[in-house]
Structure 1
Amino acid sequence: MRATIRTRRFCLAAALLLGAVTARAGEPVGAAPQPVTLEGILHADSDDTLAFTPDGGTVFFDRSEGTHKTIMLSHRIGGHWTPPQVAGFSGRWFDQDPLVAPDGSYLLFNSDRPVRPGGQPLVQDYFVGGRAPGSNLWRVDREGNGWGKPVWLGPVINGDVFIDFASVTADGTLYFMRFDPKARVMHTWRSRYRDGKYLAPERAGLGDPDVSTHDPAVAPDESFIVFDYGKVKGGLGRLCVAFREGDRWSRPVDLGDAINRDLPWGAHLAPDGHTVYVTGQSGIAQFSLEPWLRRHAGAKPR
């Protein structure tokens, strides 16, 4: 059953607040997401969170096996995808949610691996089901035709045992999600990158602060962000988009029933800037954000 591969997140959702108030009336209707299999290398019951390099020649994703998760990669050679293999920086720990930077120079992912050599893996007990793998953010730099060693992003970002699901802009601004155990709400946070360092994170200000936001996918120019908002039965929430308005985000715009029918999560943007990859109960799928981008562009004052 598809739901078993995302047990931690479904348990998380069961612990969070119901409902979301979003702008829906009069919004464009997008086509239903189309399945993505990449010539059959993807497994609908175990794989999620596709992340492509800018040239589209390499794809990363995570694969579940029992209670373990591993980051996999495949290359497009001669017009065909190679059999997936475990990424050189993954395999031992609970690794997931790879994200390739817009320029392809590095990759971010989250993991329960010890933050110091010889330490213990991270564990959290925030959600339904008790103790489960924790999560901190790690970076792997591109080195020639391969990838370097994972580097912990440090305590400014990783200030808790559950820091999850990175997304990054062209200028290095980092978005991620963090749970508030007192309010029982998941929030999206943002950290600016200046002079080679991350600044103190701040709440991104997406939607109602009493409603959970999950799995942010921010545009390279930070003009829009796709995310799950609220909670629905059996899933994380409704997939929404918000647009940048000065120094804040617009009200979340619900992407509609056609997009949300399969309870999608884990949005990632394709290199083209408008195709969105998501994972739902039926597996990985893609859809175009163009109807909403055109609608927003047309509504801007000239």
Structure 2
Amino acid sequence: MQVVLRTIILSILLMGCALLLRSQKRYDSAPASFFLPEVPPAVNQIFAAGLVSSGLDEMGGVFSPDFSEFYFTVRHKADYTVILRIRYEDGFWRYPEVVSFSGLYQDADPFITEDGRRMFFASTRPVGTDGHASDWNIWFIDRVDGVWQEPIFYSHNTSRNERSPTVSSRGDLFYSVDDNSSLITYDFLATNIWMAQSDSDGWQLPHVLPRSVNSEWADYTPLISLDGQFLVFASNRAGGMGASDLYYCSRLTDGTWGEAVNAGPEVNTSESEHYPSFTPDGKFLLFASDRKLLLPKNHEPLTYTILKRLGLGPGNGFNDIYYRKSLR
């Protein structure tokens, strides 16, 4: 009798799960519509609250070209930095998971190329064979038959910290380097944006971008458009609106870079805005911000539930990912 009863209960549970799955909305024709509206908003909106922007320290989000995957970075102070992925599979978006090549060393700043077959990222994993973690360097990893292979080292200056790689359609590589520092550890205030032009052998020797882009302050997390003509980056330079703002500049007809322009109050706040990315269709700008969720002036008395929501959820002062219409 107990066996029959257990069988009946199990059958009911399985039927309930099947009905629940059938009742959930599928996004087969447009997976990104689960996260993004059809029309890009003119105001900043938090991205995937509770799933991606969850109250942890999330940044550096990027879609795969077909919008079926979303990669992002989660860090906790200096303890760990890992790359995570959420994926659309069998009609539904799955929960975040650490990617196969991350979780042992510090890994951050994923960028996927236009064809989806290569990812660039930054990592402290060993460069040599001694097994010891190094400073931050640029790495890339190729995908074959849907599977990420082994990371391949790319960095020109192994004595400095290189972060936030971004690549144009022709393969030109941009990234930030703390080249103005004499410290051994990563020196945020000494970062500049560099570029390595693509050629038949890989990349030419990199060079620092001119003072129309870089400043005497921290200039970091670059994002290059696919055509290589539009650059977005973060800077804490004087005259900004907050701790760090997003700026953009365009390449002029003579090939030089125009003056950097602050993205303005529509994007920036008194806190930090950084780690920009474009959606594959170019319609949306994604970026990270550590802006806080503010209580209204005449709010009700605080409860424990409210305190948990403010302290553990999005808007708690750690980075969350936001989206809005593109700057271009």
> Is TM (by shorter chain) over 0.5?
yes
Decide which of 252, 257, 263 is 1:255's aligned counterpart: 263
Kept after mapping to 2: 8 A contact 1:31/1:259: no
Kept after mapping to 1: 8 A contact 2:288/2:322: yes
Kept after mapping to 2: 8 A contact 1:59/1:73: yes
Decide which of 189, 192, 206 is 1:187's aligned counterpart: 192
Q: Which residue of 2 aligns with 1:278?
A: 287
**Cα deviations by residue, 1:137-193 (Å, 9 ceiling, x for unpaired):** 111001111111101114xx2443301110100111000011111696321000011
Kept after mapping to 2: 8 A contact 1:229/1:240: yes
Decide which of 201, 204, 207 is 1:196's aligned counterpart: 201
Kept after mapping to 2: 8 A contact 1:107/1:139: yes
Q: How does 1:127-142 map to 2 (within 5 A)?
A: 134-142=135-143
Q: How does 1:218-297 map to 2 (within 5 A)?
A: 218-231=224-237, 237-245=244-252, 246-261=254-269, 262-281=271-290, 282=315, 283-289=320-326, 292-293=327-328
Residue 221 to residue 136, structure 1, CA distance change in 2 (3 Å) = same
Q: Which residue of 2 aligns with 1:11?
A: none
Q: 2 CA distance for matches of 1:260 and 1:41?
A: 21
Which of structures 1 and 2 has the larger relative contact order (alpha carbons within 8 angstroms, sep 6+)?
1
Normalised to the residue count of structure 1, the TM-score between the two structures is: 0.76
Q: How does 1:67-146 map to 2 (within 5 A)?
A: 67-122=79-134, 134-146=135-147
The Cα of 1:39 is off from its aligned counterpart by 6.8
The Cα of 1:197 is off from its aligned counterpart by 1.8
The Cα of 1:94 is off from its aligned counterpart by 0.6
Normalised to the residue count of structure 2, the TM-score between the two structures is: 0.70
Q: Which residue of 2 aligns with 1:21?
A: none
Decide which of 198, 207, 216 is 1:210's aligned counterpart: 216
The Cα of 1:254 is off from its aligned counterpart by 1.0
Q: Root-mean-square deviation (CA), in Å?
A: 2.4
Residue 79 to residue 236, structure 1, CA distance change in 2 (3 Å) = farther
- Residue 59 of structure 1 aligns to which amino acid in structure 2? F
Kept after mapping to 2: 8 A contact 1:110/1:138: yes
Q: 2 CA distance for matches of 1:32 and 1:95?
A: 31
Q: 2 CA distance for matches of 1:268 and 1:116?
A: 31
Kept after mapping to 1: 8 A contact 2:140/2:153: yes
Q: 2 CA distance for matches of 1:33 and 1:72?
A: 23
> Which piece of structure 1 moves more, 222-231 or 33-42?
33-42
- Residue 166 of structure 2 aligns to which amino acid in structure 1? S
The Cα of 1:59 is off from its aligned counterpart by 1.1
Q: 1 CA distance for matches of 2:157 and 2:138?
A: 7
Residue 37 (str. 1) matches residue 48 (str. 2): yes
Q: Which residue of 2 aligns with 1:129?
A: none
Gap runs ≥5 in structure 1: 1-29, 123-133, 294-302
Q: Which residue of 1 aligns with 2:15?
A: none
Q: What SS is found at the alignment partner of 1:114?
A: coil
Kept after mapping to 2: 8 A contact 1:41/1:81: no
Q: 1 CA distance for matches of 2:288 and 2:222?
A: 14
Residue 41 to residue 266, structure 1, CA distance change in 2 (3 Å) = closer
Q: Which residue of 2 aligns with 1:127?
A: none
Q: Percent identity?
A: 21
Misfit runs of 4+, over 6 Å: 232-235
Q: 2 CA distance for matches of 1:166 and 1:105?
A: 16
Look at both structures and tell me which one has the larger radius of gyration over its CA atoms: 2
Q: What SS is found at the alignment partner of 1:249?
A: coil
The Cα of 1:234 is off from its aligned counterpart by 11
Q: Which residue of 2 aligns with 1:60?
A: 71
Q: Which residue of 2 aligns with 1:167?
A: 166
Q: What SS is found at the alignment partner of 2:267?
A: helix
Gap runs ≥5 in structure 2: 1-40, 291-314
Structure having the higher strand fraction is 1
